Structure 1
Amino acid sequence: MAINSTKQDEKIKNHSNKELLTRIFSYLKPYKLKVFIIILLMIFVMICSLLNPYLLKIAIDKFIKNKNIKGLFVIAILMIIFNLVAMAASKIRINMMAKVTNDAILTIRQELYEHIQKLSFNFFDSRPVGKILARVVGDVNSLQNLFANSITSFIPEILTLICVTVIMFSLNFKLALVSIAMLPLLFIGLFSVQTFSRKRWQTFRGKRSNLNAFTHEDFSGIRVVQSFAVEDKTEKTFLNYVKEMMNAFVNAVKLNDLFWPMVEISWGIGIILVYWYGVKLIKANAVTVGTLLAFTGYIGMFWHPIMNISNFYNTLITNFAAAERIFEIMDIQPNLINMENCIKMPKIRGEVEFKNVTFGYNCDVPVLNNVSFKVKAGETIALVGPTGAGKTTIINLLSRFYDPSYGEITIDGKNIKHVDIESLRSQMGIMLQDTFLFSDTIMENIRYGKLDATDEEVIQAAKAVNAHSFIMKLEKGYHTQINERGSRLSVGQRQLISFARALLANPRILILDEATSNIDTATERLVQKGIDKLLFGRTSFVIAHRLSTIRDCDRIMVIDNGKIVESGSHDELIKYKGLYYDLYASQYKFLNEGA
C-alpha cells in the first residue's frame, strides 16, 4: 500500500451529489418525529410572515382608505399576536434543531471513531495520525452547519418560495412574471460557480489535513526537534504548510463569494423591474396602491428564500468535500475481519504451529519466507536474530495483526483465521517493543490489561515486576497522573508499567518483545524473577537482543533473512557454533571490552 506523507495531498474518490446527500441525511432518520415538529413550527412561522403583507394590503385598501380606525386597530392587534407567537415558535424550533444537529454529528463522529478502531494496522501504517485526526474532528464538525441549514433553511425556504410565488401570481400575473425574470440567469451563474467551487474546497481540506499531520508529528517528536536544535527549520516548514492552506482557502472563498453578489444583483434588478412596471399598471388602473405595496413586500419574501437557499447550496458545496473525506474512511474495509460462522476461541492450551508461512508488509518484499515450526503448550520460545530478520513479524502474525500471504497459523489445532479475533487476542498478553502509555493514572494504565481488575490485583502485578517500589516514591503513588506516552517517566519505568499491564491480563500465550531492553542490569535481575513466575505454565514467546536473558528458555529459534536457520537450547546452539554462537560471542566480547 502506498504511504501518504504529511507533504502529499490525499486522493479522495469523488461521489455524486445525490449519493452524498442520501448518505448524509440518513443520519436524520432516527429523529424523524423531531424533524417533523421542527418543520411544522417553521411552517407556522412562515404563515405568520406571509400574512403580514396581506394584512397590510387590507389595512391600506379597506381601513385606511375608508378611515376605519376600529378595523385598523383589529388588524394591528392581529399582526402583533401573530408575530409574538411566531417568535416563540421560532425559539422552540431553534433549540430543537440544535439538539437534533448535535445528536446527528455525535452519531457520525462515533461511527467514524468505532470504524477506525476496527481497521487493520496497514491502514495506520500508510498515513500520518494527524490526517486521521483531521477527519474525526475537523471534517465532522464541518457537517454541523449542513444539517442545521438543511432543515432550518432549505425545507422551509422552499415552502415559502412556493407559497409566495402562488400569492404573487394570484395578486397579479404580469407583475409576478416580471419579478422572476432574473431567475434563469441566476441559476446559470450559480451552477457555473458550483462546478469549480467543490474542487477548490477539496484542495483546501487536503492542505488543512497536511498541516494537521505535520503539527501532530512535530509535537510528538518535540524532544528530537529540540535536542537537534532544528526549531527554525520546523517553523519554516510549518509556515509553508500554513501558506498552502491559506492560499487554498482564499481560492475557494473567492469563488464562493460570487454567490452573494449574483443573488443580490438579481434581487435588486427584480425590484426595480417590479416598481417600473407596477407604476405603469397603477396609471392604467390595473392594480391598486395597496396591491403594489403588498407585492413589493412579497417580492422581498420571494428573494429572501432564494438568498437562503443559495446559502444552503453554498454550504452544501463547501461541505461536500468534508463528507467525501469522512465516507472515504468509512468505506475502507478492514483487512482483518471475522469470517462468517467463525467460532469463539475456547480456553487456549498453548500449542502453536506455523505451516509454510510467507508474509511481507509490501507484497513485493517478503519478510518471512516459508517459515514452519511447532511449539508445545507451556514452552518458552526465544526468537533471536539480526535486526529486520522477521522476529517481530512472527509475533504480529501470531497476534493476527496481519494475515500471512501464504500458509496458515494454528493455535491448539485451530486456524486463527477461523476464530473470533477478540476471543483470540483477549487470551494473549502482548508487550510490544514500542511502549505506549495513556494520559491517565498509573493505576488505570496497568488496569488496561484487565479492565475489571481490582486495585489490589493491579498492585500485585506491579509488585511481580518490581515496579511497586518506584511507583510508591512518586507524588501520588498509583494515582499519579502521567502525560501522553508517559514522557515524564524514564524509559525503563515505562516498560515496567507496560510489563505489569501484560502480567495483569493473565494470558494463555505471552509475548514479550524486547521486554527488558531498556531496563538496567540491576533492575533486570529483579524483573527476571517476576518473568519466571509469569512464564510458568503458559506458552511464551520472547524476543531479546540481550542474549543473557534467554539462556533458560526451552528453545531458541534463530531468524535470519526471513527463515529459521537454527533451533535448539542455548547449550546446543553454542556447541553448533552457527549464527547464534557468533551473536553470543560478539555480544560477550563487546561487554568484556566495555568492562
Structure 2
Amino acid sequence: MTKQETKIFKKSTTFVRLMKLVYVRNKLPLILVLIFMVVSTIANVSGLNTLQNVMDEALRMYEVGSTDFSGVIKLLGMMVLFYVINISFTFAHLRLMVHVSQNSLVHLRTSLFDHMMDLPLKYFDSNKHGDIMSRFTNDVDATRQMVSQSLPQLTVSLMLMVGYFIAMVAISWVLGLFTLVFAVILIGITRIISKRTRKYFNAQQKNTGLLNGYIEEMIEGQKVVKVFRHEQEAIEGFGLLNEKVKDSARISMTRSGMLIPISINLGFLGFALTAIFGGMLVLSGYLSVSGLVLYLIFTRQFMGPVNQMSQQLNFVQMALAGASRVFEVMDLEKEVDEGHVTLTYAKYENKELIESDEPTDIWAWNNKGTLIRLKGDVRLDHVDFGYSSDKLVLKDISVFAKPGQKIAFVGSTGAGKTTITNLINRFYEINNGIITFDGIDIKDIKKSALRKSLGIVLQDTHLFQTTVRENIRYGKLDATDEDVIVAAKLANAHEFILKLPNGYDTIITDDGANLSQGQRQLLSIARAAISNPPVLILDEATSSIDTYTEKLIQDGMDRLMTGRTVFVIAHRLSTIKNSKAIILLEDGNIIERGSHNELIDLKGTYYELFTGSFELE
C-alpha cells in the first residue's frame, strides 16, 4: 500500500476504508460487476412485470372466448428470456466477485504483513504472538464473507428494492407510498439494532484473538505445563477465555438475529394491509384486479431483499470488527529510519577507496558520496535509556570498542546487558547521549545497513522449518553450498550435521525440536559466521551449551572473532577472560571496568564473582 493510500484510508471509517482498498485493486472488475448487477436487476423486474400483461391477455381471451394462445406464448417467451438474462448476468457477477474478494484478501494480508515487518520490535515484545496471528487468520477471513457474498447480496438487494419500488409506483403510487412507510420503519429498526450490536462483534473478534494467543502460548509451553502439572489450570484458563468468546458471540448473534423475525413479520403485516387497502382501491375502480395481483406479488418480492439484507448485516458487522483490528495494526507508526548513510562493498584503486560493484572483503559507509571504511569502532557516549519514560534502564553509559577488540558485559539479570546490544542494533532509540559507529552517529545510518554490519547470536535460538543448509544460509542468502560448509566448520557444527539423517538437507522441525539445545546454538553461530560481519554480538551464546560442547566451539568462536569487534554477554566468566575490557553492570550503572587481570587485582565485585564468593542473581 502506498503512503498516499495509507494517508487517505486513515481518515475514513472502517467500512469506507475497506471499500477503498477493494476498489483500488479491482476497478475494472467492480465496474463490470455493477453493470452486470444492473442488467440482471432490470431483467428480473421486467420478467415479473410481464406477468401483468400475461394476466391481461388471458382475461381478454376469456372475455372474447378466444382460443388463440399465441399472444400468451409470446409473452411467456419474453418472461423466459428475461429470466435467462437474469440468471446469466447473476452468474457472471458472482464469478467476478470471487476474483475480487480473493484478490482483495491477498492484498489485505500482504499490506498487513508488509506493514508488520516495518513495526518496531517494541510491538512484538508487548503483544501476544497468537493475537497477532489471529489478525492474519480470523480477522482477515472475516472480511472474505463480506466481500465475496454479503456486499454483492446487499447491492443486488438494494437494486431489486429500487426496481421493485419503481414498478410498484408505476402500478399505483398510492400503494407505493404505503409500502414506502413500512420500508422506512424497517430500515430504521435495522440501523438501531446494527448500531447497538457493533460493539459485541468487536468484542467477539478481540476475544477470539486473546483465545488464539492463549492457545499459542500453551502449545509452545507444553513441556513447562506438564513438568509443573499445570494441565488443569491451563484447561480452566482456556475455559474462561472460551466462555468470553461464546458470550460475546451469543449476544452479538442474538441481537442481530432479531432483525430476521422483525423484518419477516413486518413483511407479512405489510402484505396483509396492502391487500386490504388494494382491495378497497379495486372496488373503487382506481386499480384493476391484475394490477392488484401484480402489486401484491411485487410486495412479497420487495420484502425478500429486505430480509436478505437483514441476514447479511450479521456478516457485515463481524467483517467490520475484523477489519478494524487489521487496520488498527496498519495504523501503527512504522519504525522510524531517517538515516542516509548506506553500506557498500569497496576496494582500493591507486590507494583510494572506491565503491565496488562486485563483493569484496572490504565494506565501507557511503555518506553522501564520501566513503568511510568500516572498521568496527563502536562507542556509546553518556547514554541514557528507558523502555518507559519514567524509569531508566541504562544510566550515563560510556563504552568504547576499538576495531578488533572484545568487550564483555557482566551483571545480574535486569542489569541492562542485553539492552545495550539492542541499542547498538537500534531496536530501540536512546533517551540521551550518542552511539557512533566508525565516528558516524548510528541515527544517520540506515537501519538495514547498520544491521547488515552486525552479526548476532542470541541466547534463545530460532530456527526455521526448512533444511539445515537453508537455516545457515539465512545469514547470507546468496551464499553457496561451499560457504555454508565453511561456516559450519568454523562453528564446529559440521561434524554433527553430517551425522543427521540427511546431513545438510535434514529438515528442522518445530523450531529445532529434533536437535539438542547445543546443536541449535551451533547452527545459530554458523548462521552468524556466514554473514561475515565486522561486528559480532554474542548474547549468552554459550549459556545453553554443555561444557563439552562449549569446548568444541570455543576455538571456532575465537577464529570467528579474529579481526572483529565483539560484544559478549555471558554468565560464564571463563569465556570472557581474554576480553580487552570487561564491563560490570548493576542496576543500569557501570560499577567496574577493566581487563580480567585488572579486575582481579581490584578485588571488587568481579573478583568475588570469579572466585565464587559471590553469585549473580
Which TM-score tier does this pair reach, normalised by the shorter chain? Answer: over 0.9
Partner of 1:531: 557
1:337-384: CA deviation from partner (whole Å, max 9, x where unpaired): 111x63324263211110110112233222210001221112111112
Q: Equivalents in 2 of 1:374, 1:193: separation in Å?
A: 65
1:453-493: CA deviation from partner (whole Å, max 9, x where unpaired): 12221122111111111111111111212222212211111
Partner of 1:157: 157
Q: Equivalents in 2 of 1:589, 1:564: separation in Å?
A: 18
Correspondence for 1:343 among 335, 341, 344:
341
Matched ranges for 1:442-453 at <5 A = 442-453=468-479
SS at match of 2:527: helix
Partner of 2:525: 499
Corresponding letter in the other structure for 2:83: N
Corresponding letter in the other structure for 1:112: L
Partner of 2:384: 358
Matched ranges for 1:474-493 at <5 A = 474-493=500-519
| Conserved? CA contact 2:608–2:614, under 8 Å | no
**Greater mean alpha carbon deviation, residues 77-86 or residues 369-378:** 77-86
Query: Deviation at 1:240?
Result: 1.9
Partner of 1:22: 16
| Conserved? CA contact 1:178–1:273, under 8 Å | no
Aligned length: 574
1:115-147: CA deviation from partner (whole Å, max 9, x where unpaired): 122211221222211111111211111111222
Matched ranges for 1:234-273 at <5 A = 234-273=234-273
Partner of 2:225: 225
Query: Deviation at 1:17?
Result: 11
| Conserved? CA contact 2:190–2:259, under 8 Å | yes
Query: Deviation at 1:38?
Result: 0.9
1:405-451: CA deviation from partner (whole Å, max 9, x where unpaired): 11111101111112211111011111111111122221221111111
Partner of 2:52: 57
1:270-307: CA deviation from partner (whole Å, max 9, x where unpaired): 11122112222223332222212221222233222222
Q: Structure 1 residue 89 and structure 2 residue 89: aligned?
A: yes
Partner of 2:6: none
| Conserved? CA contact 1:462–1:468, under 8 Å | yes
| Conserved? CA contact 2:45–2:167, under 8 Å | no
Q: Equivalents in 2 of 1:17, 1:384: separation in Å?
A: 49
Corresponding letter in the other structure for 1:43: V
1:479-511: CA deviation from partner (whole Å, max 9, x where unpaired): 212222212211111101111111111111111
| Conserved? CA contact 2:379–2:437, under 8 Å | yes
Q: Equivalents in 1 of 2:30, 2:151: separation in Å?
A: 8
Partner of 2:350: none
Q: Equivalents in 1 of 2:532, 2:613: separation in Å?
A: 33
Q: Equivalents in 2 of 1:230, 1:463: separation in Å?
A: 42
Matched ranges for 1:323-472 at <5 A = 323-334=323-334, 336-339=335-338, 342-345=340-343, 346=365, 348-472=374-498
Q: Equivalents in 2 of 1:586, 1:169: separation in Å?
A: 96
| TM-score, structure 1 as length reference | 0.92
Matched ranges for 1:286-301 at <5 A = 286-301=286-301
Q: Equivalents in 2 of 1:257, 1:460: separation in Å?
A: 65
Q: Equivalents in 2 of 1:331, 1:43: separation in Å?
A: 36
Query: Deviation at 1:248?
Result: 1.5
Q: Equivalents in 2 of 1:325, 1:561: separation in Å?
A: 38
SS at match of 2:537: strand
SS at match of 1:113: helix
SS at match of 1:290: helix
| Conserved? CA contact 1:492–1:519, under 8 Å | yes
SS at match of 1:484: coil
Fraction of identical pairs, as percent:
34
Query: Deviation at 1:35?
Result: 0.3
1:150-189: CA deviation from partner (whole Å, max 9, x where unpaired): 6412333333222222221111112212223322332332
Correspondence for 1:561 among 571, 587, 591:
587
Q: Equivalents in 2 of 1:138, 1:287: separation in Å?
A: 54
Q: Equivalents in 2 of 1:586, 1:26: separation in Å?
A: 66
Partner of 1:3: none
Q: 1:571 to 1:137 in 2, by over 3 A?
A: same
Correspondence for 2:30 among 18, 35, 39:
35
1:519-539: CA deviation from partner (whole Å, max 9, x where unpaired): 222222221111111111121
Partner of 2:353: none
| TM-score, structure 2 as length reference | 0.89
Q: Equivalents in 2 of 1:408, 1:367: separation in Å?
A: 16
Matched ranges for 1:275-314 at <5 A = 275-314=275-314
Q: Equivalents in 2 of 1:371, 1:464: separation in Å?
A: 34
Partner of 2:349: none
| Conserved? CA contact 2:49–2:167, under 8 Å | no
Query: Deviation at 1:149?
Result: 4.3
Q: What residue ranges of structure 1 are gaps of 5+ in the alignment?
A: 1-14, 591-595
Query: Deviation at 1:16?
Result: 11
| Conserved? CA contact 2:47–2:78, under 8 Å | no
**Greater mean alpha carbon deviation, residues 253-262 or residues 379-388:** 379-388
| Conserved? CA contact 1:450–1:505, under 8 Å | yes
Query: Deviation at 1:63?
Result: 4.6
Corresponding letter in the other structure for 2:438: D
Q: 1:431 to 1:570 in 2, by over 3 A?
A: same
Q: Equivalents in 2 of 1:564, 1:329: separation in Å?
A: 38
Partner of 1:110: 110
| Conserved? CA contact 2:139–2:325, under 8 Å | yes
Q: Equivalents in 1 of 2:596, 2:482: separation in Å?
A: 38
Q: Structure 1 residue 197 and structure 2 residue 197: aligned?
A: yes
Q: Equivalents in 2 of 1:505, 1:187: separation in Å?
A: 63
Query: Deviation at 1:18?
Result: 5.9
Q: Equivalents in 2 of 1:478, 1:367: separation in Å?
A: 42
**Greater mean alpha carbon deviation, residues 207-216 or residues 278-287:** 278-287
Q: Equivalents in 2 of 1:343, 1:307: separation in Å?
A: 62
Q: What residue ranges of structure 2 are gaps of 5+ in the alignment?
A: 1-8, 344-364, 366-372
Corresponding letter in the other structure for 2:205: R
| Conserved? CA contact 1:180–1:270, under 8 Å | no
SS at match of 2:229: coil
| Conserved? CA contact 2:342–2:449, under 8 Å | yes
Q: 1:184 to 1:96 in 2, by over 3 A?
A: closer
Q: Equivalents in 1 of 2:574, 2:53: separation in Å?
A: 101
SS at match of 1:506: coil
